[in-house]
Amino acid sequence: MIFRYLEVFSIIMFFICIFGLITCNNIVKSIIFALMMQTAVIMFWLTIGRGSIPPIIDNTALLDNTSYIADPLPQALMLTAIIIGISVTAVIITMLNTLFRKHLMTDWKAMEKAEDEAFKESLYGDHLKD
Amino acid sequence: MLTFFVIVPVLIAVLLYMLSTHKVAKFIAVFFQSALAVFAFFLVLSIHSEELTIFVGTYDDVMGIILYADALAAAFVLLTTFIFLLVSIYTLNQKESRTFWFLLFLLEAALIGLFFTRDLFNVFVLAEVSTVVIAVLLMYDRGKRSMFFGMVFLMLSVIAMQFYLLGLGYVYMMTGAMDMAYVAERITNMTRSELALPYALIMTTIGFKCALVPFFSWTPKVRVYPQAPTAVMAILSGLQIKSAIYLLLRFQGIFGVGASSELFLIIGIAAGLFGAFMAICQTDIRMILAYHTISQVGLIIIGINSGSYYSYIGGMYHIVSHAMFKTTLFLSAGIIVHSYGTGDAYKIRGVLKRMPLVAIGSIAAVLGITGAPLFIGSISKYFIAYDVPPLLNAATIIISLGTIISFIKYSYIFFGDSDLVGDIPVAERSRTIPTLILGVICLIGGVFGIWFIEFLFHTKVSISLIGYIQKSLIFAASVLAGLFIYKRFVKGNAFLVRFGAINFGFKAVCFSMSAFFAVILITVAFL
Amino acid sequence: MDIQSIQYLIGNIVISIGIAFMVFGVFGIFLLKDFYPRILVASKIDTVGMFTLIMGFVIRHGISFFSGKLMLIIIIMLILNPLVAHIMARSAYLSGYEVAETEIDDGERETTLKEN
Amino acid sequence: MEINALFILWIISGLFIVFESRLYRIIIYFGIFSLISSVVYLFLGAPDVAMAEAGISAFTTVFFIIFVGKYYGNQTNITREKIEINQFFRKLKGITLPFVFCAGLFALYIYTMPDTAASTYLKEWYLSNFISDVGGKNAVTAILLAYRVYDTLFEALILVVSVVAVVHMSHFSDSSVSDGHHSEIENSGMAVFTLRIICPIIVLFGGYLVVNGHISAGGGFQGGLAVATFFICRYMVYNIYDISVKRVMQLEELIFLSIILLSIIAVFLGAAALLPTAYLPMFQRAYLILMNVFIGLKVACGFFILFYRYIAFERR
Amino acid sequence: MIILWIMFVMLALYLIRVLKGPTIWDRLLGMNLISTKIIVVIIVFASLYETTFLLDFAIVYALMGFVSTIFIALFLSERKLGRKRGKK
């Protein structure tokens, strides 16, 4: 059995982020946890393809023993994942910005309460009132 | 060729956004949509002779990205392009700017790409593109939007996608490649306990995207978010969830972990019953439709997991039929809500008198979704319950009964009389025609169901007359039972309405997501 | 003793001086009670410590592309680090964080001026 | 061995964020977290990702600080700071259940972790073939721009979508996109003077990263981020908000179109196969550099628009 | 090698400073110091393995850390100024 102890660090981080997502009360904090979760996943990918030499081949003599060279594919994939993450985060922050303008808070509970009331008002109307 | 199926819509989208004003944009858009639909039709025809495998770029083997079209993918693409065409005709007369068309084309490109791709990481990229585009489209209307549900949708999707990416990391570590066929080949040598972890991680994401049980509450809310454009609602319910089911099919094909199909059967039954029950509780017509999506997804998952071949075909055909009647219902519901100014199922009356064409299309779809004989739903429901064990058969009948009860509530809106007036008193022609076409297809797909199945999935199936008549009798009996239950228990029941308004918050959904992950992991690894 | 080992020796000595600067800086960061003395110390670590340390590396490597890039880093650090310290001090001052007259513990001010 | 120490620092800095509730501090802790994680990437042998993470961390910090600074700036509830340890334990009481849940998940996860050896099938192939197939010295750039260019297209697309979405969803009408007035807040004169020296260095350095992307670490994305940083500096120097976002958006879409067309011509249609072999290395180099330049420009435009949009939020 | 470990100890100490720091500017200062220590770590690393391109990273970190620090400091002073103006 191979116990990969370096991977465990990123998995610990992943579960810390899940823990944070379950417990935190602030929307900004939740966004940051989502970003951190992504960082943990990226760390995992880079750990499984790690190597002491980066995949930049200055002279071809390096290629004789490829076991020290890092795996280039996870790096390329993770670059893509990073850009996707920041783009989505930008959209989320914009949405949060306009929401804040309306409610003047970034609290999950209060925000959900206010939004749910508006939602129920528009969909259920007077059926909810006794 | 398949590459251009994906790239060309992107090109058109960017060109539309850069060059045109919105008057010209919509005609160009509809022209290209119909061209795409025609091409998709020819694609389905050409798949009959051989399946297509395309290497993107000049790099062969699994080094680059491979696109792959079999009968399933081609059928889905035909469905996508067809529904997008009708939806864009539907939005023709609205004053949507070029941003709307830009996003619509991108969504189409992303969905088509999802159906064609054979690369696991590409699935991640395209799913993220479609998520962002849908979130923006939901919040499209500038004036009266509130960003909350879109934001929650986006954040939950981002978090769910991290699960997928982590599972993909394990897959890459174990197999060393990203290509689905290659991965499936390598995975056959591995033991079940080794595969449990990546399987559970990936299925968490897919379950979230399919709106299975633990995540039920956000789905209808996002889907029927009142200010969202009707076209977007229809696409979300009719198509986007299908892409997730398609991914479920693909991943079950790759992993081949047989044990979890029982788990998915249980989840499917639970989702079906739950969705049907919540739909009974709703009062808004769009909300009824949205909860029905969940129950129909449950039916589809029962079909594709029950193990028998006929059920599988039934599940596949139910995907098509669900796309047809759910799109019809959402489009007509959009017209009705515009016309009456409210979505309350107890207040709207007399649609048949005010808008006969819309009402006809809508009634055809209602008959389809309830599984009335000769309509599209009856064929797929017949095949789903063809040779399954009696317990599953009973479950499908109960789900159908729930569907029928809520649609009895729904169909009251067609009769009677009302003087509510909303934005538009009479429906425009460009909005009526797509609804009517889809309604007619609901009928044709029922009458010629076997030929449709042969055309789309290349398998010959046959319907025994006695079984079909038996099904029809069950349908008639459940309509009577439904009428009785509706009159006796459902109508004006305040408790049900209050129950229907229950929902979960963001943190609860995060919790249930990880709990779902744990359940799948335990089931696959230890049971 | 060839030229290479002399180079290494001198380089290591200069690097140790830089490290010593930095260690003093860390002590300062923890011993001083007020923000302004702290930032004074910190800017010293950043500028003098970094300068000395990188100079040590330059001496170790002799004249090469590597040391050229190191010189570029030195220039950037020399420009930037005092500036960062200045801007932080300015920001603190403008926000109403007053300079302490003495360096005794002043609990009163800490109650009035905190971040939210 | 060093990498373990870095990993432990990384996890500690992540834990900082979990047990903190004040937004300013969270942002600073997040900055530290990103910095440390990018160094860990570097130690794992992934320089490109590390550079991207460094740029991204600067931009996320800026985005968050604009949001939080705008809305929490005028809050007056300044509370006395509690002792951290007590707070920690008080919090721990209320969160025992989720903690136990996550710990159980973690244990389950570790228990079911597959113990196969990592497969290196694709790695060997890429490393031995990319120089002759694609050219250049950086395998990551080769994969991004040639083998998986289909992914890169969608990655560029999602940035375009996000820019369009941000511009569409911000509240103001398009006429007030740039106001051209000086902001009330002024930077110090010394800062302005130094920033003026630094600005050209940033642009030059970004250009260097972009153009050398195929033979060294860096590439279009990282260089584009560096160039976009220039606009932040420019805002800080002149305190003025005057560039038309509309024009830059048009430019961005034009560049995106050319990225698509270039990749269609060079990769999807396989133009390289038509060339005589003598010209092949030159063609490959030209393709890589051109693609990097386009991606760099596009990323710079995109991040510039995002930054300006958030600044516009702040200025209202 | 020893320098690397000294730097790690310093990083840990600065993290404590960041956690303890009574005001927001102390934390900002800690962040800045951490980024400079990371630059030192990179330089040491580059020198050990004789890889020149790692020095690019030092420059990128310096520039990016500098920009974000200055931006945060600017906004911190801005918010307090805004409050004062509001009072007047």
- Cβ within 8 Å, pair D9-E27: no
Please check the confidence at residue D27 and state whether its pLDDT lies above 80.
yes
Who has greater pLDDT, A99 or B123?
A: B123
Q: Which residues of E touch C96 (CB under 8 A)?
A: 80, 84
Q: How far is CA D136 from the centre of its chain?
A: 24
In degrees, rounded to 5, the angle at the alpha carbon of residue B69 between the alpha carbons of residues B86 and B196 is 105
- Name the pLDDT band for E85 (thresholds 50, 70, 90): very low
Inter-chain CB pairs, C–D, below 8 Å: 37
- Which 3 state secondary structure label does DSSP give D182? strand
Using a CB-CB cut-off of 8 Å, the residues of chain E touching C60 are: 47
B78 Cα to chain D: minimum distance (Å): 22
Q: What is the pLDDT of residue D269?
A: 76
Chains contacting chain C through 3 or more C-beta pairs under 8 A: D, E
Q: What does the pLDDT average to over B105-118?
A: 90
pLDDT for A37: 92
CB atoms within 10 A of CB B27: 11
pLDDT at B148: 81
Structure token digits, residue D309: 């949009």
Q: Compute the 3-state secondary structure of chain B and give helix, strand, coil in percent, each to the nearest 5.
A: 75, 0, 20
Contact B323, B83 (CB under 8 A): yes
Yes or no, beta carbons of E79 and D218 under 8 Å apart: no
The structural domains of chain A, with segments of one domain joined by +, span: 5-104
Give the confidence band of A39 by pLDDT, cuts at 50, 70, 90: very high
Q: What share of chain A is helix, strand, coil (3-state, %, to 5)?
A: 75, 5, 20
CA angle D194, D198, D202 (to 5 degrees): 165
**Residue B3 reports pLDDT greater than 60:** yes
Q: What tokens were used for A125? A: 């109307």
Least confident of A27-36, D102-111, D280-289, D304-313: D102-111
| Closest listed residue to residue B313, CA positions, set B256, B388, B210 | B388
- Average pLDDT estimate for D74-80: 41
pLDDT at A40: 92
Give the closest-approach CA distance of E65 to chain D in angstroms.
7
In chain C, which residue's Cα lies nearest the Cα of D188? C87
Q: How is chain B split into domains, by residue range?
A: 2-145+228-248+259-499
Question: What per-residue confidence (pLDDT) applies to B227?
Answer: 67
* C-alpha D275 chain-centroid distance: 36
What tens digit of pLDDT does each residue of E11-69 get?
Answer: 788 777 777 777 777 888 888 888 888 888 888 888 887 777 788 888 888 888 888 88
B54 pairs with which residues across the strands? B67
pLDDT at residue D181, as a whole number: 62
Residue E5 vs residue D9, higher pLDDT: D9
Interchain contact, B173 vs D155, CB within 8 Å: no
| Chain D residues in contact with B139 (beta carbon < 8 A) | 169
- Chain D nearest-CA residue for E80: D73
**Number of other CB atoms surrounding residue B415 within 10 Å:** 12
What is the per-residue pLDDT across D130-182, written as a single tens digit (0 to 9) for each? 887 777 788 888 888 888 888 888 988 999 999 888 888 776 554 445 556 66
Cβ atoms B156, B251 nearer than 8 A? no
Which pLDDT tens digit goes with each residue over C90-106?
Answer: 877 777 666 654 433 44
- The string of pLDDT tens digits covering residues B376-411 is 888 888 888 877 788 888 888 888 888 888 888 888
Strands B52-55 vs B66-69: parallel, antiparallel or unpaired: antiparallel
**Which chain D residue lies closest to B19 (C-alpha atoms)?**
D250
**Residue D131: which domain range?**
125-316
Q: Per-residue pLDDT tens for B51-78?
A: 788 787 777 677 778 888 888 888 888 9
Looking at residue C106, what is its pLDDT? 40
Split at pLDDT 50, 70, 90, the class of B216 is low
For B449-491, write each residue's pLDDT tens digit. 888 888 888 888 788 888 888 888 888 888 888 888 888 877 7
pLDDT at D276 over 80: no
pLDDT at E82 over 50: no
pLDDT, tens digit (0-9, with 9 covering 90-100), for D234-256: 887 777 777 777 788 888 888 88
Q: What is the mean pLDDT of residues B508-516?
A: 86
Lowest mean pLDDT among B198-202, D115-119, D231-235: D115-119
Is the CB of D57 inside 8 Å of chain A's CB atoms?
no
Distance CA A74, CA A86 (A): 18
Give the H or E element holding residue B68: strand B66-69
How near does any CA of chain B get to the CA of D149, in Å?
A: 8
Touching subunits for chain D (3+ Cβ pairs under 8 A): A, B, C, E
HSE-CB of D118 using CA atoms within 13 angstroms: 23
Reading the block at residue B43, the tokens are: 């694609």
Q: Is any Cβ of chain A less than 8 angstroms from the Cβ of E53?
A: yes
Angle at B2 between CA B1 and CA B4, to 5 degrees: 70
Q: Which residues of A touch E53 (CB under 8 A)?
A: 56
Q: How much of chain B, in percent, has pLDDT values that exceed 70?
A: 92
> Hey, are the CB atoms on C90 and E80 less than 8 Å from each other?
no
Q: Tell me which chain E residues have a C-beta less than 8 angstroms from the C-beta of D217.
A: 53-54, 56-57
Q: Under an 8 A CB cutoff, do D158 and B59 touch?
A: no
The answer to whether E50 contacts chain A (CB < 8 Å) is no
Q: Which helix (H) or strand (E) holds C26?
A: helix C3-31
D212-232 tens-digit pLDDT: 888 888 788 888 988 888 888
Higher-pLDDT residue of C107, D288: D288
Cβ distance of C111 and D72 shorter than 8 Å: no
Q: What is the mean pLDDT of residues B9-24?
A: 80
How far is the alpha carbon of E17 from chain A, nearest alpha carbon, in Å?
A: 22
Q: Which tokens go with A94?
A: 């914009």
Q: How many CA atoms lie within 13 A of B156 on its CB side?
A: 32
Please report the pLDDT score of residue B218 as a whole number. Answer: 66
pLDDT value, residue B426: 66
Q: A51-55, B358-362, D114-118, E41-45: lowest mean pLDDT where?
A: D114-118
Question: Exposed, middle or buried by CB within 10 Å (0-12, 13-18, 19+), for A99?
Answer: buried
* Tokens 């084309």 belong to residue: B105
- Residue D269's DSSP bridge partners are none
pLDDT for residue D185 is more than 70: no
Contact E71 D62 (CB under 8 A): yes
- Using a CB-CB cut-off of 8 Å, the residues of chain C touching E36 are 45-46, 50, 77, 81
Spatial contact of E75 and D69, defined as CB atoms under 8 Å apart: yes
Taking the CA of residue D169 and the nearest CA in chain A, the distance in Å comes to 7
Residue B52: in which H helix or E strand, if any? strand B52-55
CA distance D288 to chain E (A): 19
Task: List pLDDT tens digits, range A65-99.
Answer: 777 888 888 899 999 999 999 999 999 988 888 88
Q: Judge: D194–C79 Cβ closer than 8 Å, yes or no.
A: yes
Contact (CB<8Å) D216/A56: yes
Q: Give the mutation candidate from C73, C74, C115 for the D interface (greatest D CB count, under 10 A).
A: C115
Q: Can you tell me the distance from the alpha carbon of A18 to that of D99, in angstroms, rounded to the nearest whole number?
A: 10
The three-class DSSP label of residue E1 is coil
Cβ-nearest to E15 among D9, D84, D187: D9
Specify if D79 maps to a domain.
no
